[in-house]
Structure 1
Amino acid sequence: MLKRYRAAALAALGLAAVCAATVTTLAVAQNKADAALDRVKAAVQKTLGADAPVKSVARTPIPGLYEVGVGGDIIYVDEKAKYVIIGGNLVDTKTRQSLTEASQSELNKVDFAKLPIDRAIKYVKGNGSRKIAVFSDPNCPYCKRFEETLKTSKLDNITVYTLLYPVLGADSDAKAKAIWCAPNRLTAWHDWMLDKKAPPTPAATCNDNGVMQNVALGHELNVTGTPTIILSNGRRLPGAVSAEALEKALAAVK
């Protein structure tokens, strides 16, 4: 009986030794992998300079090619950052999915709960249970097209928080501030975007700091075009997406 217990104990110790060795091997491999990514990051940073901070580095399915997040963009480099692919789109031919778009969406995620909805124009359709925020310029034709989509499509049960983001020039800035200072901001916004009815001249005493703060926030979040739609899960949808595309994106939000 004692021999059997001793054998079992030794076997258990042997198994423990194997497990420990395996864990150690995995840890060493992980450390080497992390060190390799750190080397790539350092090489990219040296190549691009301090004005282009590197946010992330990851391997791609292609040996020797690395995906790098710089600002709000995705680029691809070799291990020594001797060669750089900018503006490329890496696509999985089997799934037909863009790996670049998926990574860029993740890189540019926004914490929806931290968005300043007190500086937004609120529009509710249906029960308003599904929420989006939109950075929008009053002179952007694609923003007007998106407003038309919201009004005329079958999209329902949605709350839209429009953050005025006048980036197309002085007239955009003036119109955004006039809309912000209007007695009814939502009415003034829809009047202009849907019916081309200019907002009333704002009173000299109106505080339009909210518009300027939205512009600063947009720059901070790397919002480079309008409209930029942000779903409640933080994912971005660039441009005047169709009602069908928006409905699909909203349905995918958990």
Structure 2
Amino acid sequence: MKLIPSLLAAATLACGFAASAQEADIRKALAERIPQMDKIDEVRPTAMKGLYEVRIGTDLFYTDAKGDYVIQGELIDTKMRRNLTEDRITKLTAINFAALPFKDAITIVRGDGKRKVAVFEDPNCGYCKRFERDLQNVDNVTVYLFLYPILSPDSAEKSRNIWCSKDPVTAWQDQMVRDKAAPAASCDTGALQRNLALGRKHKITGTPTLIFANGARVPGAIGAKDVEKRLAEAGAGTEPTATN
């Protein structure tokens, strides 16, 4: 009977070696045949037998066990009705919410402020204005607004005026909800430069981009109902899920 644990350990080790060898074979084959795939971050089996995921950064590809074929597309689980590729990318792009530099954000508190969300926005972004106007319907939330002026030089000027305002919260709401520009102001705008660097680090390429307390990242303007749903998931400690 004492041999059973040893046999199980040996079998597990053998499987590990087999998986490593398989990964090495796939890496070697793809690097030799497709030069652009010479720096693969991860190779792992998918839920579909014989199909492997190849990850380069947050880009996903699929291949067979020999690396003879490469598929660029989405893997759908028809039984569960889930887009497995989208689910995987959502987890890969999740951001550690607690590690965000909130000192570089404008903090907006509504109601008890218990629920939390961070938003990267550009004052010249039309979708951001639509999002902000809809966000007025969400209560009991703390919004950490990271000014992210990426659309034009004018975006940087408006962001500076808002950040340097005596009341940045009101200045932001005036700009986005009431179409009232903040008066010219000046101060240390190092936070705006750090926001741009932070966005580049996390590959935030559009505004608005929302980040919830569970790390889920949602690009684009979503309605109040979807915001409420995401806040509830984050509050329940639910893992990031793909955007529908």
Q: TM-score, normalised by structure 2?
A: 0.87
Q: Distance in 2 between matches of 1:53 and 1:227?
A: 31
**What SS is found at the alignment partner of 1:241?**
coil
Q: Report the counterpart of residue 128 of structure 2 in structure 1.
A: 143
Structure-to-structure mapping, 1:203-214, within 5 angstroms: 203=186, 206-214=187-195
Residue matched to 2:207: 226
3-state SS in 2 of match to 1:63 = coil
Match of 1:142, SS state, is: helix
The AA in structure 2 aligned to 1:65 is: L
- The structure 2 residue matched to 1:97, chosen from 55, 58, 82, is 82
> Hey, what does 1:181 align to over in structure 2?
164
Report the CA distance shift for 1:93/1:211 in structure 2 as closer, same or farther (over 3 A): same
Match of 2:180 in 1: 197
Amino acid of the structure 2 residue aligned with 1:60 = T
Gaps of 5+ in 1: 1-14
Report the Cα offset of residue 170 of structure 1.
Answer: 1.4
Residue 78 of structure 1, CA deviation? 3.7
1:139 touches 1:168 (CA, 8 Å); kept in 2?
Answer: yes
Q: Is the alpha carbon distance of 1:26 and 1:89 closer, same or farther for their aligned partners in structure 2, counting shifts above 3 Å?
A: same
Give distance in 1, aligned partners of 2:50 and 2:10: 26
1:71–1:222 Cα contact (<8 Å) kept: no
Deviations 1:135-165 (A, max 9, x none): 11111111111111111x2x22111101111
In structure 2, how many angstroms separate the alpha carbons of the residues matched to 1:210 and 1:45?
Answer: 41
Pair 1:28 & 2:14 matched: yes
Distance 1:41 1:156, change over 3 A: farther
Root-mean-square deviation (CA), in Å? 2.1
Higher helix share: 1
Which runs of no fewer than 5 residues in structure 2 stay unpaired? 238-244
Q: Does 1:111 align with 2:92?
A: no
TM-score by length of 1: 0.83
Shift in alpha-carbon separation, 1:97–1:19, aligned structure 2, 3 A: same
**How high is the sequence identity, in percent, across the aligned residues?**
42
For the pair shown, the structure with the greater C-alpha radius of gyration is 1
Q: Which residue of 1 aligns with 2:58?
A: 72
1:87-119: CA deviation from partner (whole Å, max 9, x where unpaired): x22221122111112111111111111101000
Amino acid at match of 2:232: A
Distance 2:129 2:62 in 1: 35
Deviates more, 1:168-177 or 1:210-219: 168-177
